[in-house]
Structure formats: C-alpha cells, structure tokens
Amino acid sequence: MPEFRLTQISDTHLARRFTRLTENFARVAEHIGADRPDLVVNTGDLAFDAPTGKTDLEFAKELHDALPVPVRHLPGNHDIGDNPTEVGEAPKQPVSEAHRQNFCALIGEDRWQFEAAGWRFIGLNSLVMNSGLAIDAEQFDWLAGELSGANGKPIALFLHKPLFLDLPDDPETIGTAIRYVPQPARQRLIGMIGRADVRLVASGHVHQRRDFTYRHTRHVWAPSASFILSDKRQERIGIKETGLVEYRFQPNSFEVRHVKAAGQVDIDLDELFANPKG
Ligand SMILES: [Fe+2]
Ligand SMILES: [Fe+2]
C-alpha cells in the first residue's frame, strides 16, 4: 500500500545571531536525517524576523537547503509581514507584495499543490488574506479550483495561521486575528473547507502544540521548532514545548505523531534575548 511520510516543522525563526536557535534546528535536522521522511514542510516563520533582519531569510534558506530530504515552505508573518485586521491596530510590519516576492525569489512558491498516496496536499499563504493585495483574491480563486479538482481524493491543507481555537464561532476567537486567519477571509476559508473533503488543517504560528477535530477535519497546530513564549507574554491554550509533527498518509487514512527531536531544548524567548548565544 502506498504510504507518504511527511514531517511538519514550523516557526524555526532562524537568524545567524541566535546560535541557540540554530542548535535546535540542528537537532531537528539530525532527527529528519535519521527518519528520512518523503517530504518536510515548514509552515512559516522560517526567519527570526525577515522584515527587520535582512539576512535572516537567507540564513534560513541555507539551513533548509542542507536538509537531506525534499522541503516545501510556506511564509509566516516573520517572513513577509502580517495581515491587517478589520478591527484593532495595523500590524507593525504589514504584509506587502514586495516582501512576498522577496520570499518567492529566495525560498520558492508561497502556495503549492501536489498529490501523493491518494491524497491532495495544498499549501496556502495565509498572510496575504484580508490584505487587499491582488494576490489575495487570486489565491482564493486558485484554491476553489484546487479543492473542486481533487477528484474524490481527501485533502490535507497547510498554512501558517490556524483558523480558530476550538470552534469557528468561539467568542474568544471570532473577532480577533493576530493569532488566527483574519475575518472575513477566515469565514470564507472555513466555508470552502466545509464543502470539500478536507481531513487535515496543519498550521503553526502560535508556538503551542494542539490537536483537535472539528466535524470531519483534524486541526493540528505544530509547535515551534525553535522557542516558546512565557505565560507572561502569551496565554497558555495548548502545550508549550518545542518539537515537530510526523504524518503518515495512506489512501483514505492518516496518522499523526507528536514528536520532539532528541536534544531539542524549550528555549524561552525572554531568556534568549537575555542570553542569545547561551
Ligand atoms: Fe512564529
Ligand atoms: Fe507567526
């Protein structure tokens, strides 16, 4: 029976100046080298902060290129800037077409589709959603075609930002957008997912591990491969640890394993700032 093994890493936040984060990536790379999945997907925030650290994305690319298996990437807010929201302040580093094109030129496509083991896999750029950029509408048109063209194959969707906490109409999440895909794009995306056979939505961004099922879709939040945020900085809504996620896809089914690479350390961001080199 064909099987496709995919390892999701996320929020690697690489920068040459933060050697402790590079060490965590090295532990992840060793794990991947021993396990040899068919594909690694990084669901965004490859760079520590590309909008302010010009070489961070180049450094992230160097390390990802050295992985011994094929890799696909998706942008995070620290790679191309963040989404504007309907309410609240504009993000300090808003997403822009120039940032997006820089990502595409250096790293590769910011959205993609492929098929393996009887599944259709779709990767989305969640940061352009609600941005008003032409690419936002274009991506939604493209997604509609990719969902309807699955020809009965189950679909696994990858993107940086999760869709919601527990339910689409959670009072805690409905109006906010820093943590989730912003409204009204979120509602549109949830509607499209609900009408298609999307069995998995795999995200990153929050730096907390979560795994739950809503209707026919399993939502997996990959932890950061790199660092965690203290309770002072961020409320605890999942498991605060560094790690990665391993998937095994077979026609019509899949398995999920929550993993931590040997030697991967739960570095706290505040502690990192105080002591960047350890
Ligand atoms: Fe992140
Ligand atoms: Fe993020």
The number of the ligand nearest the C-alpha atom of 79 reads: 2
What was the pLDDT predicted at 81? 96
Residue 194, both tokens? 């609900």
Q: Tell me, in angstroms, the distance from the centre of ligand 2 to residue 13's CA.
A: 9
With a pLDDT cut of 70, the percent of the chain lying above it is 98
Q: Tell me, in angstroms, the distance from the centre of ligand 2 to residue 51's CA.
A: 13
- Asked whether residue 1 carries a pLDDT value surpassing 70, the answer given is no
Q: Residues 6 or more apart from 166 whose CB is under 8 A from it?
A: 212, 214
Architecture of the CATH domain 4-274: 4-Layer Sandwich (3.60)
Q: pLDDT (tens digit, 9 = 90+) per residue, 33-65? A: 999 999 999 999 999 999 888 899 999 999 999
- Asked whether residue 24 carries a pLDDT value surpassing 90, the answer given is yes
Q: Tell me, in angstroms, the distance from the centre of ligand 1 to residue 78's CA.
A: 7
What was the pLDDT predicted at 278? 72
What was the pLDDT predicted at 85? 83
Q: Tell me, in angstroms, the distance from the centre of ligand 2 to residue 1's CA.
A: 36
**Cβ atoms < 10 Å from Cβ of 62:** 12
3-state secondary structure of 102: helix
Q: pLDDT (tens digit, 9 = 90+) per residue, 123-139? A: 999 999 999 999 999 99
DSSP string computed for 245-275:
EEEEEETTEEEEEEE--TT---EEHHHHHHS
Q: Tell me, in angstroms, the distance from the centre of ligand 1 to residue 4's CA.
A: 27
Q: pLDDT (tens digit, 9 = 90+) per residue, 157-201? A: 999 999 999 999 887 677 766 899 998 899 999 999 999 999 999
What was the pLDDT predicted at 27? 98
- Residue 214 — pLDDT band, cuts 50, 70, 90? very high
Q: Tell me, in angstroms, the distance from the centre of ligand 1 to residue 154's CA.
A: 28
For the chain, domain boundaries: 4-274
The number of the ligand nearest the C-alpha atom of 126 reads: 2
Q: What is the mean pLDDT of residues 100-104?
A: 97
Beta pairing partners, 250? 253
Burial code (b: 16+ CB inside 10 Å, e: under 16) for 127-138 equals: bbbbbebebbee
Nearest CA to 117 out of 219, 248, 255 is that of 248
Neighbours of ion ligand 1 (CB under 5 A): 11, 45
d(CA 154, CA 36): 24
Greatest alpha-carbon pair distance for the chain in Å reads 53
Q: Tell me, in angstroms, the distance from the centre of ligand 1 to residue 32's CA.
A: 20
Q: Tell me, in angstroms, the distance from the centre of ligand 2 to residue 45's CA.
A: 5
Q: Tell me, in angstroms, the distance from the centre of ligand 1 to residue 118's CA.
A: 31
- Residue 89 — pLDDT band, cuts 50, 70, 90? confident
The number of the ligand nearest the C-alpha atom of 77 reads: 2
CB-CB contact of 189 with 181 (8 Å): yes
Q: What is the mean pLDDT of residues 85-113?
A: 92
Q: Tell me, in angstroms, the distance from the centre of ligand 1 to residue 229's CA.
A: 10
CB-CB contact of 201 with 247 (8 Å): no
